[in-house]
Chains A and B, each alone.
Chain A
Amino acid sequence: MVSQPPIIIIGNGIAGITTARHIRKRSGAPILIISKESRYFFSRTALMYVYMGHLKWEHTQPYENHFWKKNRLDLLEETVTEIDPEKKKLTLSNGNTLSYASLVLATGSIPNKFGWPGENLKGVQGLYSKQDLEKLEALSPSIEEAVIVGGGLIGIELAEMLQVRGKKVTFLVREKSFWSNVLPKGESQMINRHILSHGIDLRLATSLSEIIEDENGRAKAIRTDKDEIIPCQFVGLTAGVRPNIDFIKDSSIDTNRGILVNKYLETNLPDIYAIGDCAEQQEPVPGRRPIEAVWYTGRMMGETLAKTLTGEKSAYHPGQWFNSAKFFDIEYQTYGLVAAHPTEPEIHFQWENPAKNLGITIAFNKETNEFIGINTFGIRMRHEIFDQMLTEKRTVLHVVEHLNDCNFDPEFFTSYGGEIIAKFNQEFGTNIRLKKKSWRRIFANLITN
């Protein structure tokens, strides 16, 4: 008797592991997860905390080591070199082959490189994988000065990491302001100031021209597009990531920037699916990008695909956009799609408390007053309530009135709702009042006017 081939998942990041867990919840099908990066699932988002000494490696693993065996999730530390969709077989780097019933590609991302001279020198790297962290840790004692190239979320995290470990950090941001392709101007500038206040040498509107090599093949300095030489022993390349699909390029699986999938997360070939960072939606949700390399979307795709693989064919419906990040000490949350550079009818209401590094931006439709989205800095908000207000297409007036219901700051924190609503009334000539927090509304999951 030949045993049934397993569902094989390539990649044990959040997308692959979520798929595996949800399949196991719904069925007893054999599952094999292949990853060369690490034996056990870890939280990629926690790499920075290990480097800063907040956590140890073991703390990044959301499940204890016995979890996998107990749930019959087989783990294999190997690299897949080839996929044969005809025979439904994989070839591993050790030459072995494996058969699969279904194949899930969840291979994640790799850091972008743009052909900079010297980008492959020793001391030049991105920060994405466990191996990247290990490399950085090994280099660490020999780093005094570091340059980070690329002003996105990984860039600012890497800047914080190195700064915390006592390195002098220069941060090159190509745009005129930090993350200005995502954050509206005022917010982006607040983060610029915060980066500077942490002693980072922030260079806006500056890009990398080349990385200069020392006699041992290691980076010793960089030259900027302004012809400035900045000495450094480490260069962090954080100009975004791209899907990690090089090993698939030669196969018959259709790819563009990522692996092309339909709304069921199916590739062009039967029984092969792609999820997470490496998947590219052929028909993205309106207003959303075809590739969303975000923890949350990876998790949602994993859950969706698990349903499909256990007999309940399900389309990927990511729901209302949300995201979060932390810029040094400033927490950021966003619900809905707030444009960085709004075009009418989208307009923004902004409130800021520069002394406390607090701020919010509420985007809404000038004509209909429909609420479009919110960014908050240093103020926590309830996800469910915003999700619902977006789904129910509430007005901006409704949102501002109910800020007390939305607030998720710890108890006793100062409430700025009154200040915010006063500014709103002043700017828009309205006369709305802040409603008292109501558990009934929060729990009813239904806010009435």
Chain B
Amino acid sequence: MKTLQKFGLGVFLSGLAIFCALIFIGKYQLKAKQFDALIAEKGIKSEVFIANIKRNLVDKEFSGPFEFSTRIITALEEANKVHRKKREWSKVIWDKPHSFSYEVAKKAGTGMIPNNKGWFWFLTFGLGIIGSLLYIIPNIITLGPPGIKNNGIFFDSSTNRGFLGWSVFIFLVSFYVLLYFFPDYIVNWTYIVDPISQSLSGNLASQWFLYGYLYCVVMTVMAIRMYIKYRNNKYQILRTTSVLFFQIVFAFLIPEILVRFEKPWYDFKNAFPLDYDFFFSWNLNSLISSGGFGLFILVWGIALTLVIVPVMVYFFGKRWYCSWVCGCGGLAETLGDPYRHLSNKSIGAWKLERWLVHGVLAFSIVMTGFTLYTYFSGTSAVLGIKTQTIQSIYGFLIGSIFAGVIGTGFYPIFGNRVWCRFGCPLAAYLGLVQRFKSRFRITTNGGQCISCGNCSTYCEMGIDVRAYAQKGQNIVRSSCVGCGVCSAVCPRGVLKLENGPVANRTHLPNFPLGNTLNN
């Protein structure tokens, strides 16, 4: 079995190595015809740019994306400089340079990779999936009988911030930096999922399609790991199935299929303010111009945030969203599960958490206020601050850096819920409802706690569960996402997630237990 697992690991790493190597290889050649089409399509009016590209790029063959991208970006920046100086605003190319370069590169790729998409899918995704399953499935036997299987977690370099943990950290951060800021370097990755994208939406894959597809693949493989690890626990199995379903169907398939029917791309479960650009003018305009269906989405989106979300939190706690439905939560609970114990449990971290997460909520509301004011009044600035500037700052700092680079990249260092705990404005909103008006609580079972610390250690949200349990006090905390792992790892049957009458939610037992210290 161990040999099989090692072989699986080898296969997985080969797939990963080929995937990474794809960044550096490939041929790009922009043909004159393609460039003309691009000029027309993008409505480029800058003769400076056109001349530069024709001179330096068109019909030349490049190996790897870097030089190709540099020439486009240099041309774009030089052209913009000239036009800005001359105040020729209509000639300025407003696209983000790397996104523009991505669009060019996507058309210009030639040779081995775009011609063998299926094969390269197999060599990357295929080997990755086969290898990781060969590594994971033998756990049914190697982990022993069903039960809590946390043996050696703090001895393992990959799960205890060792060399492997830091390597994964560097890999994930690099991946997100490339995805968000240098899409033109990962054009090859998008080629290999083109056929899948075309079969769904009819379009070629963008880097966001690639990301969505990869997200589903990673979640599926790691959900199988969850099924094996927690096969003694039905709550974990159902919860994992639920997040996987919502990711694949709601976040991935339905939006792509909507595009095929010329409807706006929309994830029906992604609630504002997590879906921070829902009220951005481009989105509102697109929804309004999409007829009845667009209006339905508009109404649904507003109702989701204002009615459905709080009502569901009242009945079930925020877990119904955060650990049963949400995509960020879904990744955290599958890919992130091996890192859940790395969250910081100190009072200091709790204080930081409250400032940050509520700060982001306030920021998102202010930004949306600006957005709506601008949308209805038509003025581009409020109180002297440009709406577009505040939107870009939010998108960059919160949408990209916090949610992506830090949120997932830091799994192996700070645990799997960094974003959900410190940054997600929706989690903050749900948390307020959960804390003040909800039937959900984690019940502490009288005096049975032995203060061992498994619950606190394995709480991904950094809640010091033990601090409550050893007092016999129920746990009502705004941050709790109801993953149920504290209850699972408890060796003495002390904790139970449940929904019950709101009265008595923070109940203390009324008989002497030696732990009824209320502070």
Stretch at the interface among A231-239, A297-305, A425-433: A297-305
Interface members, chain B 124-179 (any A CB < 8 Å): 144-148, 150-156
By the criterion CB–CB under 8 Å, are B150 and A387 in contact?
no
User: With the chains together, A64 CA to B450 CA distance in Å?
Assistant: 17
Stretch at the interface among A90-98, A339-347, A375-383: A375-383
By the criterion CB–CB under 8 Å, are B233 and A14 in contact?
no
A3 interfacial contact with B, CB 8 Å: no
A164 interfacial contact with B, CB 8 Å: yes
Cβ contacts under 8 Å, B146 to chain A:
329
By the criterion CB–CB under 8 Å, are A14 and B512 in contact?
no
Cβ contacts under 8 Å, B450 to chain A:
43, 45-46, 295, 324
Cβ contacts under 8 Å, A299 to chain B:
447, 513-515
A45-B451 CB under 8 A given contacts A319-B511, A322-B446: yes
User: With the chains together, A432 CA to B268 CA distance in Å?
Assistant: 48
By the criterion CB–CB under 8 Å, are B153 and A53 in contact?
yes
Produce 1/0 per residue, B220-264, CB < 8 A to A: 000000000000111100100000000000000000000000000
A198 interfacial contact with B, CB 8 Å: yes
Cβ contacts under 8 Å, A14 to chain B:
451
A49-B500 CB under 8 A given contacts A21-B517, A331-B493: no
User: With the chains together, A52 CA to B517 CA distance in Å?
Assistant: 31
B454 interfacial contact with A, CB 8 Å: yes
Interface members, chain B 464-516 (any A CB < 8 Å): 466-467, 470, 484, 487-489, 491-493, 496-498, 500-501, 503-504, 507, 509-516
Stretch at the interface among A111-119, A219-227, A246-254, A409-417: A409-417
A242 interfacial contact with B, CB 8 Å: no
A68 interfacial contact with B, CB 8 Å: no
List residues of chain B with CB under 8 Å of any chain A CB: 144-148, 150-156, 232-235, 238, 346-347, 443, 445-448, 450-454, 456-457, 466-467, 470, 484, 487-489, 491-493, 496-498, 500-501, 503-504, 507, 509-517, 519
Closest CB in chain A relative to B492 CB, distance in Å: 4
User: With the chains together, A53 CA to B152 CA distance in Å?
Assistant: 4
User: Nearest 4 pairs between A and B by C-beta?
Assistant: A383-B446, A329-B147, A299-B514, A380-B493
By the criterion CB–CB under 8 Å, are B447 and A408 in contact?
no
Closest CB in chain B relative to A63 CB, distance in Å: 8
Closest to B457 in A: A59
Cβ contacts under 8 Å, B235 to chain A:
410-413
User: With the chains together, A61 CA to B470 CA distance in Å?
Assistant: 12
User: With the chains together, A303 CA to B511 CA distance in Å?
Assistant: 12
By the criterion CB–CB under 8 Å, are A411 and B493 in contact?
no
User: With the chains together, A408 CA to B490 CA distance in Å?
Assistant: 12
Closest to A442 in B: B500
A412-B452 CB under 8 A given contacts A53-B153, A64-B347, A331-B491: no
A264 interfacial contact with B, CB 8 Å: no
Q: Which of B445, B452, B488, B489 gathers the greatest number of chain A CB atoms within 10 Å? A: B452
By the criterion CB–CB under 8 Å, are A296 and B514 in contact?
yes
Partner of A410 from B147, B497, B500 at Cβ < 8 Å = B497
Cβ contacts under 8 Å, A326 to chain B:
491-492
